[in-house]
Amino acid sequence: MHGAKGCMLDEVRARLPEELHPLAALAGNLWWSWQPDGPATFRALDPERWRGNPVRLLRDVPRARLQSAARDPELVARAASLARRMADDLARPAAAVAGASAACPIAFFCAEFAVHPSLAIYSGGLGGLAGDFLKEASDAALPLVGVGLFYARGYFRQRLDPSGWQHEHWIAADPGELPLHPELDSEGAPRKICVDLRGRAVYARIWRVDVGRVPLYLLDTDVPENDPTSRWITATLYVGDRAFRLMQYAVLAMGGVRALRALGIEPALVHLNEGHAALAALELARERAARGVPFAAAVELSRRQVVFTTHTPVSAGNERYEPGELAALLRLDEAELRLAESEHGLLGMTELALRTASSSNAVSRRHGEVARAMWRHVLTPPEGGETRISHVTNGVHLPTWMSPPLRELLDAHLGPGWPRDPRAWRGIEAIPDEELWAARGRLRSRLVEFVRGRSIADRLQRGEPIAYVEGAARVFDPSVLTLGFARRVAAYKRLHLLIHDPARALALLRGPRPLQVLIAGKAHPRDDPAKALVQRIFALKNEPSASTRVAFIEDYDLEVAGELTAGCDVWVNLPRPPLEACGTSGMKSALNGGLNLSVLDGWWCEGFEGGATGWAIASDGAGGDEAQDARDAAALYELLEREVVPAFYERDAAGLPRSWIARIKASLSMAISRFTASRMLDDYVARVYGGRRDGLSS
């Protein structure tokens, strides 16, 4: 158990020669992970041992190697310079925003954060968004802290057996090899907060992860004071059992507010990023009520401090509970229960958040329309008006998601500081076509190498015959049009449309102008139909001549997402409208010069500019799901056959696909100007944090 352990980072520093101490400072803050020279600096210390985790690297590098590195002036200077840049970044004064300051920051609550692959406390788009939000807040010097949970068993690992059936396992994270700083009390013991759940005191310690300038506080109930079941509360991300999940939400929300108090942080604003943390608003009201303010007035006062973002219209993301389920966990009185009232006598966290926040927003323009209709019963519009849910379209953190080849190309042509200079973006048009196409070629080649490496490893793990294992070295072709489809295998994402008409799909793979397809994604551990679909996709490898053109990459995570969104030429998304609230993987692809082919839903309703930036399928639900699927699959094949494949393979005398490159430029400009986290954060500051309206009717 890690409860008794001190800080591994101190031990790591202690074993380094003084010349290398800057590396320990860098390893203790995830800031390095989004600097262009960050990973390479650690790799230089020990290329053989480098697996992307600096804490583990510094712990494991043999002493002899440390000694020789300390005598390498280039490496020492490089580490010192990077550490100095970090110190300068951390020393910048905070921006003054919406009454927030370093002493009174915005507290951003979320059940998951995808900051780095080594810290697997995320499972999908919500976590990705939250991780990007923190990084962008750091870059923008926004006074913000994150609040979340430390799941030792976070995102599960996926393995397929030789039949293609998914198996899951969890690897318990070792806090000793993560950049976790224990928050300590005045005696040097772990600082703990306490929440009353099921009539028992549940304790949680607080870890801090430094995300650049932004501290992310993670609560962890695995402490000796707790009984075995309470110790388990934060053990697993989105556990199947509803009571456990509710306890997680209570620890996150109520425990989170208490943790801020224990740390002496007075939040100017509490941002509930998705409904999981809704009980935080109640906790703020309860604090005021405890000081003698009548409950209704306490809710009104707290409301000014709370903003809410809803992230999905899918019902699994807006769970409802029997009053008894909540009562077994928390003592909520009548007035409190009314705030969470949902339909059919049930209670909901989204409802609670909508009724206790001064501002609520959806995550794309389309999702705004959907959310306003969906939550009309909760937020009764003022006479004749509309339900007050606004939208801020999501964006992705450019330094994290733009891969080095593209970044270097744009640095060379747009000048320093271009990501924050809208005038510089006009220069994209003038980048020589051959240079842009060469960069895309490098990205595709890198992706093919990645696919081959992963395929060999996956086949070895599955115990496949040796000839088949070694055949993986010949899969994929760096000159062939490459499609990617990678995301959670949830029913509404409609992965099955790819093989709706298997003969037509296979003809595309085998044609004289072929395409190759990369698929990745995890099915929820309890979702057998989704696993069966993965198995059907996996079986494509048995089709003659398709086996070298289709690959299923196991264990989709942040790292796989980075490789695939960087290297694929076309990023495919086929959600059943209107269930894709936003979607962000397509933005990552566009930032790397990939083109989107997507159903018009979520962010693509804003990004699709009549064909200039990619391709769209205008899906409609007439005639039921099956009819819709048949139409949308046919539209997908048609677009591929008639437009995508010809445009990719049509080359001029210089060997360049000019119309394709024109699309890349339009799509890249679109992504940089409208779908980065930088634009998103500006919108939050202007429209949510700054422009709150008090007293939403409920």
Ligand X SMILES: *Cc1c(COP(=O)(O)O)cnc(C)c1O
Whether 179 contacts 30, CB under 8 Å: yes
Nearer to ligand X, 249 or 556 (CB): 556
Query: What angle do the packed helices 295-303 and 349-356 form, to 10 degrees?
Result: 80
Of 558, 604, 542, nearest to 578 by C-alpha is 604
- Least distance (Å) between residue 377 CB and ligand X: 27
Nearer to ligand X, 79 or 558 (CB): 558
The token pair that represents 315 in the structure block? 């019902």
Nearer to ligand X, 433 or 555 (CB): 555
- Least distance (Å) between residue 125 CB and ligand X: 3
Nearer to ligand X, 125 or 255 (CB): 125
- Least distance (Å) between residue 136 CB and ligand X: 14
- Least distance (Å) between residue 573 CB and ligand X: 7
- Least distance (Å) between residue 399 CB and ligand X: 15
Q: Distances from the Cα of 214 to the Cαs of 105, 117, 144, 147, in angstroms?
A: 10, 18, 6, 11
Nearer to ligand X, 347 or 561 (CB): 561
**Based on the number of CB atoms within 10 Å of its own CB, is 296 exposed (0-12), middle (13-18) or buried (19 or more)?**
exposed
Whether 482 contacts 528, CB under 8 Å: no
DSSP string, 194-260: EEEETTEEEEEEEEEEEETTEEEEEEE--STTS-HHHHTTTTBTT-S-HHHHHHHHHIIIIIHHHHH
- For 320-344, letters b (16+ CB in 10 Å) and e give bbeeeebeebbebeeebeebbbbee
Torsion of CA 346, 350, 355, 360, to 10 degrees: -160
Nearer to ligand X, 128 or 348 (CB): 128
- Least distance (Å) between residue 492 CB and ligand X: 11
- Least distance (Å) between residue 493 CB and ligand X: 7
The token pair that represents 53 in the structure block? 């985790």
Of 425, 482, 428, 426, nearest to 451 by C-alpha is 482
Nearer to ligand X, 54 or 125 (CB): 125
- Looking up tokens 């009520």, which residue turns up? 289
What span, in angstroms and rounded, lies between the C-alpha atoms of 274 and 113? 12
- Least distance (Å) between residue 558 CB and ligand X: 5
Whether 323 contacts 345, CB under 8 Å: yes
Which DSSP letter does residue 402 get? Answer: S
Nearer to ligand X, 355 or 522 (CB): 522
What span, in angstroms and rounded, lies between the C-alpha atoms of 209 and 296? 36
- Least distance (Å) between residue 579 CB and ligand X: 11
Q: What is the CA radius of gyration of the chain?
A: 25
- Least distance (Å) between residue 124 CB and ligand X: 5
> Quick one: which H or E segment has residue 582?
none
- For 114-130, letters b (16+ CB in 10 Å) and e give bbbbbbbbbbbbbbbbb
3-state helix, strand, coil in the chain (%, to 5): 50, 15, 35
The token pair that represents 479 in the structure block? 């000159």
CA 537 from centre of chain: 25
Nearer to ligand X, 164 or 607 (CB): 607
Three-state DSSP at 377 gives: coil
- Least distance (Å) between residue 370 CB and ligand X: 16
Nearer to ligand X, 207 or 556 (CB): 556
- Least distance (Å) between residue 126 CB and ligand X: 8
Q: Could you tell me where the beta strands, DSSP code E, fall in 521-567? A: 550-553
Nearer to ligand X, 233 or 671 (CB): 671
Nearer to ligand X, 128 or 256 (CB): 128
Nearer to ligand X, 128 or 212 (CB): 128
Nearer to ligand X, 128 or 657 (CB): 128
- Least distance (Å) between residue 538 CB and ligand X: 20
What span, in angstroms and rounded, lies between the C-alpha atoms of 362 and 605? 14
Whether 550 contacts 509, CB under 8 Å: yes
Of 317, 308, 272, nearest to 146 by C-alpha is 272
Whether 374 contacts 657, CB under 8 Å: no
What span, in angstroms and rounded, lies between the C-alpha atoms of 113 and 102? 22
Angle at alpha carbon of residue 553, lines to 176 and 672, rounded to 5°: 80
Nearer to ligand X, 3 or 562 (CB): 562
Beta partners for residue 196, in sequence order: 201
Of 470, 444, 446, nearest to 456 by C-alpha is 470
- Least distance (Å) between residue 556 CB and ligand X: 6
Q: How many residues comprise the chain?
A: 698
Nearer to ligand X, 124 or 182 (CB): 124
Nearer to ligand X, 236 or 584 (CB): 584
Nearer to ligand X, 358 or 573 (CB): 573
- Least distance (Å) between residue 439 CB and ligand X: 22
- Least distance (Å) between residue 557 CB and ligand X: 6
- Least distance (Å) between residue 115 CB and ligand X: 11
- Least distance (Å) between residue 70 CB and ligand X: 37
Which residues contact ligand X by CB under 6 A?
124-125, 128, 487, 557-558, 561, 583-586, 588
Which 3-state string (H, E, C) describes 258-307? HHHHHCCCCCCEEEEECHHHCHHHHHHHHHHHHCCCCHHHHHHHHHCCEE
